[in-house]
Structure 1
Amino acid sequence: MIGDTRAVSPAVTQALTIGISTILITGLLLGGSSYIDTKRDNTVRQGLIDVGSGVASDLVRLDQFDTDGVSQEISFSSAYPDRVGGEGYRIHLDPSADRTTIYINSTASDRRTQVRFKNTTAVCESRVTGGPIQVVYDATEPCLEVRAA
């Protein structure tokens, strides 16, 4: 008597189809999440660079004022987002002899960037969290700094 093998073939085929489909879907999910993470990193990094460039531009603009004989504070406000790519950030203004460095660091991850600019007016070290800020010429010091708005 010859055994009937027709009933085994559909079950094996279905099991193989389910196994291959599972592997493909898992690969797509892992690849897609990696792609999204990469895009998120790039978005946060570019956002931090944009904020740093904006703050540098604000400081350079204030640096161009003629501050000789100024006895009061000069300031203007700039509106920056509270969060970049869903992450908060901090701005740290660090003066040096030839160029000032602005460090912009994410508070939720290790993402960070820096922007350097040349200035003629002295710069005081200052730190502020992201969001609306004031760029200030402090006549008592006298120096440029950033403050929370």
Structure 2
Amino acid sequence: MRRKRTFSTDDRGVSTALTHVLTIGITTILISGLFIGTTTMLESQMDRAAYQEMETIGERLGAEITAVDQAANRSSNGTTNVTVSHPNTVAGSSYRIELAHGDDACGTWDRETCLILSASQTSEDVEVPFKNVTAVEPTSVTGGDIRITYNETVDDKITLEEA
């Protein structure tokens, strides 16, 4: 004879409900882990992209300053003025360009003159050394359109200013 099951002793539906709860819980944990891992990877990729973009901008600007330096040394009227265009942002954030000169200006490099680019997107500054003959005026400008100027009659130095 069969015993009658009561609600408190009936466990026939527990396996299905427990399987659904465990499946949903494990899926939630896996998806959360993927989101966290992907976010961390994307942040490091953006940091690296911003660093490489600042390196490229710094090398281009260093070459442009060197060209102004060479023109200043060949110029008979004593004035050279070049406006160059660079991106306003790197990896979605603004950046600053510092034209540094002096013994301690370029910590990484054995040069007296360099460009130091910094952005809020990256934790590291980019140093780009370049060789020049004409003296430079240490200045700092934001990224974008930049005017590189040499005027022999005013201060006999190369300067950067926002265009």
- TM-score, normalized by the shorter chain, greater than 0.5: yes
Q: RMSD across aligned C-alpha pairs, in angstroms?
A: 1.9
Q: Structure 2 residue aligned with 1:54, among 30, 52, 60?
A: 60
2:69 aligns with 63
For the residues of structure 2 that align with 1:87 and 1:31, how far apart are their CA atoms? 23
Residue 6 in structure 1 maps to residue 19 in structure 2: no
How does the TM-score come out when normalised to structure 2?
A: 0.82
Contact 2:137–2:158 (CA<8 Å) still a contact in 1? yes
Larger Rg: 2
Q: 1:53 to 1:68 in 2, by over 3 A?
A: closer
Q: Please, which moves more after superposition, 27-36 or 62-71? A: 62-71
1:35 aligns with 41
Q: Structure 2 residue aligned with 1:81, among 76, 81, 87?
A: 87
For the residues of structure 1 that align with 2:127 and 2:13, how far apart are their CA atoms? 68
How does the TM-score come out when normalised to structure 1?
A: 0.90
Query: Counterpart of 1:78 in 2: which secondary structure?
Result: strand
Q: Amino acid of the residue matched to residue 105 of structure 1?
A: S
Contact 1:99–1:119 (CA<8 Å) still a contact in 2? no
1:1-149 mapped onto 2 (5 Å cutoff): 1=3, 4-67=10-73, 70-96=76-102, 98-107=111-120, 110-139=123-152, 140-149=154-163
Structure 1: gaps (5+ residues): none
What's the % identity of the aligned pairs?
A: 30
Contact 1:82–1:130 (CA<8 Å) still a contact in 2? yes
Shift of 1:109: 5.5
Contact 1:127–1:146 (CA<8 Å) still a contact in 2? yes
- Output one character per residue of 1:90-131: Cα deviation in whole Å (capped at 9) or x when no partner: 111011365311111114654421101111111111111110
Query: Counterpart of 1:64 in 2: which secondary structure?
Result: helix
- Output one character per residue of 1:1-51: Cα deviation in whole Å (capped at 9) or x when no partner: 475432000011001101110110000000110111011101111111111
